[in-house]
Structure 1
Amino acid sequence: MPRTASPTTAKNTKRPKRPASADGTMSQRQVLEALSGLLLGMFVSILAGTVVATSLPVIISDLGGDQSAYTWVVTSTLLATTVSTPLWGKFADLFDRKLLIQLALGLFVVGSAAAGFSQDTNTLIFFRVLQGLGGGGLAALSQIIMADIISPRDRGKYAGLFGAVMAVGTVGGPLLGGLVTDAFGWRWNFFIALPIAIVAIFLLQSTLHLPKHPKRVVRIDYLGAILIAGGVSLLLIWVSLAGKQFEWLSVPSVVMVVASVLLLVAAVFVELKSPEPIIPLGMFRNRTFTLSVIASISVGVSMFGTSVFLAQYMQLARGATPTESGLLTIPMMAGLLISSTVFGGLISRRGKWKAIMVSGAILTVAGSLLLGTLHYDTNLILVGIYMALLGAGLGMLMQNLVLVVQNAIEVKNLGVATSAITFFRSLGGTIGVSVLGSILGTVVAQSIKDGIAGLQPKDQLLAGTYLGSGTIPQISQLPDVLKTVVESAYGSGVGFVFLCAVPLTIVTLVAVIFLPNVPLGTLNAVQLKTQNGRPGADKARERHDANDMLIDVSTASVALPAVGLANPTEAPPAVGANSAESAQRRSSE
């Protein structure tokens, strides 16, 4: 009896211009074309977050806002991005991913354009929330779609492109924002990225071709989404306001923490019973996923913390302008860019990631320790070296944590697993920056108080005039005698903050050391889906499970027993990634 053409083949006949073959295989040129829209979209989201950094004081002043409004303009975007990330990831497993990322870009464009027309801080905060919602989708979906078209083995060399986009957006954003504000006004900070975003939408439409998801009943866990969003939002609002609007140990703190815990506990019960949970808790039985989540939380603190506190160090301890501050932090981004590009390509060529990630975690610990020695008069060359070491370590970790999770997780959970890593990294970064910022404020206040006590009586009176309000001073406007006091306080304070972050970097190192050394697969997610259900897949799984369980004593990985997959519809082990996943899951249970 003759075999009929598969649906994929039939669909390919109707669309001969589709750049991928029926089984999802793409050439390097086709991959780069498909990535062009994703890279532009990521660049837009990063640029929008960093371009207003240097002009935010001008914006808040022009709109008549206070310190509380300043805090919420920043926090609202981080909050929306963090909370929406797992939702976008779940939607990616249920709906068309190409349409979703175009919707995320469109939402981002609307939010950016509207923010540029804001007439007060309340409307600005609202439109920044829209920006954050779109940015969360771009951050999650770009990684998910990347897994659709690139195999884990080849993903490392393309991850360097994402690192480059991140570095350019992070370094260039503040510099561009200062220039645009001076030349055209602060509103153009929100308009400048719009043409790039529109181009990205058209590029995605013309170059990104993904197979349609099979028709199935879609169930969205609305209650779980509300509980997770509510619990996380309340937690982030608490850490953002505590120490500023109210004390850490106070009635508002207790109420917000207890309410957040209750919401998140309720979310756990709902997720356990939901047929389509937002975050499938069963993924935590996968040891690779759980350890990567732990590592991502502390990596988020290092990544977000360095950008915030190094900028303060350069401007308040070294007297640099916002533009000079951006230039002085280039070693950090250069280290991240170079390491992510070089070692990403090395992982693709050799197929080995464990030693590189362990080395990156060690560099992160070393960089944090060295930055912990900062003072207001530390040689800037040494500061640059310390930043480059930390940046190199983060470059070897960030994208590869996503890679190893995508390599080890079931294909059906690819979207939620990828977004979960991004979510926990953002969550850790937001909480960590708020807590460390509170520590910095306390240490600086005490250091300034002690420094003023050692001055002459006339200089103490002068200090009351310039520093009595408790607001962050402008170093250039201070008398020399007070300038030294303030610079010394911020120099040692920022150093102390980096020392406080060292235990978290050690947690990252331990988590990476114990990651199972699963070989990287050679099939992308689209190819894995076409392999599901093939005859003989169970036997192939058993053979590859036995072959893929490797012992790597040099990187402290642990051998796992070879077992077969219980579910015959799961992806076959020819990818290496999913072949070992069943054994990992059994051993973790």
Structure 2
Amino acid sequence: MASGADTLEVTPRQLRWTVRGLMLGLFCGILSGTVVAVALPRVVADLGGGQAAYTWVVSANLLASTVSIPVWGGLADRAGRRALTLLALAVFAAGSALCGAAPDVLTLVACRAVQGIGAGGVTAMAQVMLAAAAGPRERGRYNGHFALVMAAGTVAGPPVGGLLAEAPGLGWRWCFLIGLPFAAAAALALGRAPRLPAPARRGPVDLAGAVLVTGSAGLLVGWASAAGDGFAWLSWQSAALAGGGLVLAVLFARHAARAADPLVPVRLLAGRTVAAAGVACLAVGTAVFAAPVLLGQYFQLARGHSPAVAGLLTLPMVAGMLVATTVTGRLTAATGRWKRYLVLGCALLALGFALMGAGAGRAPLWVLVLAMLAGGAGAGLAAQPLLLAVQTAVPEARLGAASALVVFCRALGGTFGVSALGALLAARLTAHLDGGAGTEAAYTAAFGEVFAWAAPVGLLALACALLMRETPLR
């Protein structure tokens, strides 16, 4: 069992309850980000929203989750880890209940942000608690379980959401309420977990850094969501949002480099492995979070399927993720090696999106099945090696911040990926419709182009994976 400066001796029984509670919390947190993907057309129609609502119902959750992750990570290096995890679950449950009762789009977007703050805390604290309770080899095995749960939550969201949206007596509001029993079960399991002590570090959380990173990410996500649709790329609105976001990003980087205890430890990025892993996490996050949203809309709008059928058609991606994460976790724990699986995963990710781009234009369904299997397997293979690469490259005292950095980068990539690819989809759809294409043909062509544009993201992750130095797990 784990031991060290900021851990205590954890019995096997306590570790099992800890892992069970964290897995349940992770599942409901990740599920909340994708379960609404297929139900979006019905949600927006029922609440009277416009085209921008499609992006913001998803992006509000992802953005709030993303910017809250480093705050939770900073708190984890100062306060009791179990108490913080339970607090995150409570915030998530409150946000989920409010989403289920939202009367209009603006209220739903605001409540999705609350839900995202709780989900970000659950996601960050899961890695922090595991790092404090288990040794490096055990982390490799349990990270495989975590990656499996995250894969299931990410890609099972669309089929579950589609079924709920069409189920008699339920409807799309249950896409938000479904997380409540999982959150309650997670809290009960964590009640049997040990009280993991906080590290010796004290002092206030870097609130200035939180304000800067929130402002920067918010402006850039707003720009990526609306540019080309709400206003022209070359316009004063575009310049204001993008320029303001970049200025705040530079100010945040300078602040983090000078602060004694920054919110996001950018000093960790000085190492080649950590820096490459951060960029790779951005790329993998883009693929993992954007794929379910895009596929759910593609099967409905381009191929004419119902929400339930569209959700079920994404199951090949689920299968690829589940098998890959299971196998990778066992092999990593047995061999202590992770780089080979990361390289293969990034290559498959790029291949999967390339095949999706080629197959979107009315190719046989088996082509899309192969594409989703490859993309899902790639995401599953890459997920936990990226975390292990960072955790083995930093001192034990910085495990909390380093783990949160990985989750932050992955969520940030997902936030920008959903926003940017959604904006690209809207722009290409408008171009095809203006060019005289029919609605179905326009959607088919636009989705094919968006999937093709996502393929280089996988190649970027592959290049980063090749740059990392492998440190065998102890």
Fold in common (TM above 0.5) = yes
Residues 1:500 and 2:453 aligned together = yes
Taking the aligned partners of 1:405 and 1:21, their CA distance within structure 2 comes to 20
Structure-1 residue corresponding to 2:246: 261
Give the share of equivalent positions with the same residue, in percent.
40
Answer whether contact 1:43 1:169 (CA < 8 A) is retained.
yes
2:128 maps to which of 138, 141, 144 = 144
Answer whether contact 1:219 1:275 (CA < 8 A) is retained.
no
Give the secondary-structure state (helix, strand or coil) at the position aligned to 1:408: coil
Structure-1 residue corresponding to 2:181: 195
Give the secondary-structure state (helix, strand or coil) at the position aligned to 1:161: helix
Structure-1 residue corresponding to 2:194: 209
Structure-2 residue corresponding to 1:240: 225
Answer whether contact 2:38 2:310 (CA < 8 A) is retained.
no
2:100 maps to which of 116, 124, 130 = 116
Q: Deviations over 1:87-118 (max 9, x none)?
A: 11111111111111111100011111122222
RMSD between superposed Cα atoms in Å: 2.3
Residues 1:168 and 2:168 aligned together = no
Q: Tell me: CA distance 1:217–1:167, structure 2 relative to 1, closer, same or farther (3 Å).
A: closer
Q: Deviations over 1:6-28 (max 9, x none)?
A: xxxxxxxxxxxxx9889745565
**What does 1:21-420 align with in structure 2 at a 5 Å threshold?**
24=8, 26=10, 29-181=13-165, 182-184=167-169, 185-206=171-192, 208-214=193-199, 217-420=202-405
Code of the residue aligned with 1:518 in structure 2: it is T
Taking the aligned partners of 2:2 and 2:290, their CA distance within structure 1 comes to 40
Q: Tell me: CA distance 1:321–1:224, structure 2 relative to 1, closer, same or farther (3 Å).
A: same
- Greater RCO (Cα-Cα under 8 Å, separation 6 or more): 2
Give unpaired runs (5+ residues) of structure 1: 1-18, 453-484, 522-589
Answer whether contact 1:87 1:225 (CA < 8 A) is retained.
yes
Name the stretch that deviates more: 302-311 or 56-65: 56-65
Taking the aligned partners of 1:339 and 1:450, their CA distance within structure 2 comes to 42
Answer whether contact 2:282 2:412 (CA < 8 A) is retained.
yes
Answer whether contact 2:392 2:473 (CA < 8 A) is retained.
yes
Name the stretch that deviates more: 229-238 or 22-31: 22-31
Structure-1 residue corresponding to 2:431: 446
Code of the residue aligned with 1:501 in structure 2: it is A
Taking the aligned partners of 2:3 and 2:392, their CA distance within structure 1 comes to 22
Q: Deviations over 1:546-575 (max 9, x none)?
A: xxxxxxxxxxxxxxxxxxxxxxxxxxxxxx
Taking the aligned partners of 1:164 and 1:217, their CA distance within structure 2 comes to 34
- C-alpha deviation, 1:302, in angstroms: 1.5
1:512 maps to which of 445, 457, 465 = 465
Taking the aligned partners of 1:112 and 1:225, their CA distance within structure 2 comes to 24
Code of the residue aligned with 1:402 in structure 2: it is L
Structure-2 residue corresponding to 1:6: none
Name the stretch that deviates more: 389-398 or 315-324: 315-324
Q: Deviations over 1:20-53 (max 9, x none)?
A: 8897455655433211111111111123333333
Give unpaired runs (5+ residues) of structure 2: none
Q: Deviations over 1:302-332 (max 9, x none)?
A: 1122212222322223222111111111111
Give the secondary-structure state (helix, strand or coil) at the position aligned to 1:372: helix
- C-alpha deviation, 1:514, in angstroms: 1.4
Name the stretch that deviates more: 335-344 or 120-129: 120-129
Q: Deviations over 1:327-359 (max 9, x none)?
A: 111111111110111121011111111222112
- C-alpha deviation, 1:434, in angstroms: 2.4
Answer whether contact 2:357 2:452 (CA < 8 A) is retained.
yes
Taking the aligned partners of 1:205 and 1:143, their CA distance within structure 2 comes to 18
Taking the aligned partners of 2:30 and 2:340, their CA distance within structure 1 comes to 30
Structure-2 residue corresponding to 1:477: none
Answer whether contact 2:163 2:307 (CA < 8 A) is retained.
no
- C-alpha deviation, 1:247, in angstroms: 1.6
Structure-2 residue corresponding to 1:553: none
Q: Tell me: CA distance 1:73–1:316, structure 2 relative to 1, closer, same or farther (3 Å).
A: closer
Code of the residue aligned with 2:117 in structure 1: it is L
* TM-score of the two chains, using structure 2 as the length reference: 0.92
Code of the residue aligned with 2:442 in structure 1: it is A
* TM-score of the two chains, using structure 1 as the length reference: 0.75
Taking the aligned partners of 1:120 and 1:486, their CA distance within structure 2 comes to 27
